[in-house]
Amino acid sequence: MSVQAVQYILVGGALQGVCLAFLLATRKANQLANKLLAALILLISAQSVLVAFDTREFFLAFPHLSKVGWLLPTLFAPLIYLFIQKLTAKRPRIKPVDGVHFLPFLLTFVYLLPYFLKSTAEKIAYLSNFELARKDDFGFLGQITLFLILLYLALSLWELKKYRHKIENTFSEVEQIRLQWLRQFIYALLSILFVASVAFYAQKWGLPVLTIIYKYHLHYFGVVFLIYWVGYKTLSQPRIFLDKPSAKPKNAAILLETAPVLAAPMKEKEPIIIQASETPAPANSKYQKSVLKPEDSQLYLNQLLEYMEQEKPYRQSNLTIQELADTMQMPKHHLSQVINERLGKNFYDFINQYRVAEAQLLLVDPKYRHLTNLAVAEEAGFNSKATFNAVFKKQTGQTPSEYVKNQHQNRPNLAD
């Protein structure tokens, strides 16, 4: 691979990044998180151009751009963390304490400021001393930056862990898709960081073979791929980057108006029966101070199961536990306690149990044979085919296609 080919790839990725950053920054929904991501992608794109032309000749021609590539990565880490934090926050906003995360950038800038203030002639003289410039390139500052990014990626994973615990008892679908995407995003960044670290130390220590990673900037190909991948997700799953559903229906009628509309009336199908356990699940420590009486808990449970059976609110993909509680005129914390203790489930699994049962009926009903698996998933309340397939297999042990095939094989032949 030629150096020119590498430059074309990295600059092309940078141009894609600029377009993607503009698209995200101009979105009206979830402005804070989108603008943080836009800033991150814009900085990564600028770094991509500097990496593409990381040659002695380039910096001798443009000496004032030298060492800018040392500074920009110190902004990557806090922007990644703040993007994750604000995208998963209930009420995202910038707080004064968020400024602490930009201290590494400020300290690095102060450290590099004497160099940035040097004249053109002084910078050219420094860059002409190749051995000195190369030694500084792989000095302590680069190592600290790699550690800083690793630290913030670890903090981002911790935020996702807390987010997962929260949404399992709050949201039924869309937030799970967002969680899955954020995990993939962080793991992709960790993979890129690992390759970048190998490239850095291979070049620093002159390790054979591995130095080719740094020579052709192969680690930054992952950055280009990530930019294109984020762009694809932005277009194919825009709801990941939108605000969480905020509308809270005041009654069942409003809730059902927002649910998916089936191709034919659902009343003709067999009812979905979700049985409650005869014995409640072990008491959860977080409900030890609850004032909910056992008889009231049983009453709430009966009302919940009856409402789920008759009104089918699970067909609304954005359904949250707050919306369900408001519709049933039931305190949210009591509804959560009933689902957790009496049914032994979190809200996400409880709702998806109904969705899978609904999908099972639709998949084998001749009236809905014309529907694709994606259409069936949407009719049952799922918002993603990938989530539908994963949840369906987890609950039934089969994929939707395998389930249909087995049902047809087990169906008695009426001609006999």
Same domain? 303 vs 186: no
> What do you get for the CA distance between the two ends of the chain, in Å?
67
* The predicted structure's pLDDT at residue 268: 44
Helices (H), 169-218: 174-205, 211-215
The model's pLDDT over 219-261, given as tens digits with 9 standing for 90+, comes to 888 888 888 888 887 777 766 666 554 433 333 333 333 333 3
Q: Among 220, 241, 262, identify where a domain stops.
A: 241
Percent of the chain topping pLDDT 90: 43
- Residue 25 is assigned to a structural domain of this protein: yes
Q: What is the CATH number of the domain that holds 345?
A: 1.10.10.60
Residue 163: Cβ within 10 Å count: 20
74 or 276: which carries more pLDDT confidence? 74
User: Is 161 part of any domain?
Assistant: yes
344 and 272 share one domain: yes
**Residue 246 forms part of a structural domain:** no
Regarding whether 274 and 187 lie in a shared domain, the answer is no
- Give the domain range for residue 120: 3-241
CA atoms within 13 A on the CB side of 209: 0
Domain co-membership, 203 together with 122: yes
In this prediction, residue 283 carries a pLDDT of 54
Q: What is the number of domains present in the chain?
A: 2
Which CATH number fits the domain that encloses residue 43? 1.20.1070
The predicted structure's pLDDT at residue 398: 92
In a domain, 339, yes or no: yes
Per the domain annotation, does 247 fall within a domain?
no
Residues 348 and 388 placed together within one structural domain of the fold: yes
Mean pLDDT calculated for residue range 334-363: 91
What pLDDT sits at residue 413? 53
Lowest mean pLDDT among 81-90, 113-122, 256-265, 385-394: 256-265
Instruction: Return d(Cα 24, Cα 233) in angstroms, integer.
Output: 12
Residue 415: inside a domain: no
Task: Assess whether 219 and 269 both reside in one domain.
Answer: no
At 282 the pLDDT is 53
> Where is average pLDDT lowest: 273-287, 335-349, 358-372?
273-287
Length of the chain equals 416
Mean pLDDT for the stretch of residues 124-144: 89
The type of residue at 229 is: W
Boundary-marking domain end, from 241, 262, 296: 241
Mean pLDDT of 55-61: 90
What is the rounded CA–CA span in Å between residue 413 and residue 416? 6
217 and 310 co-located in one domain: no
How many other C-beta atoms are found inside a 10 Å radius of the C-beta of residue 45?
A: 23
Q: Are residues 108 and 138 in the same domain?
A: yes
Going by C-alpha positions, the residue among 381, 262, 410, 373 that lies closest to residue 314 is 381
In a domain, 108, yes or no: yes
> Where is the domain boundary, 241, 265, 286?
241
161 shares a domain with 21: yes
234 and 315 belong to one structural domain: no
Q: Half-sphere exposure of residue 26, counting CA atoms within 13 Å on the CB side?
A: 6
Indicate if 280 and 402 belong to the same structural domain. yes
- Residue 85 located in a structural domain: yes
176 and 274 together in one domain: no
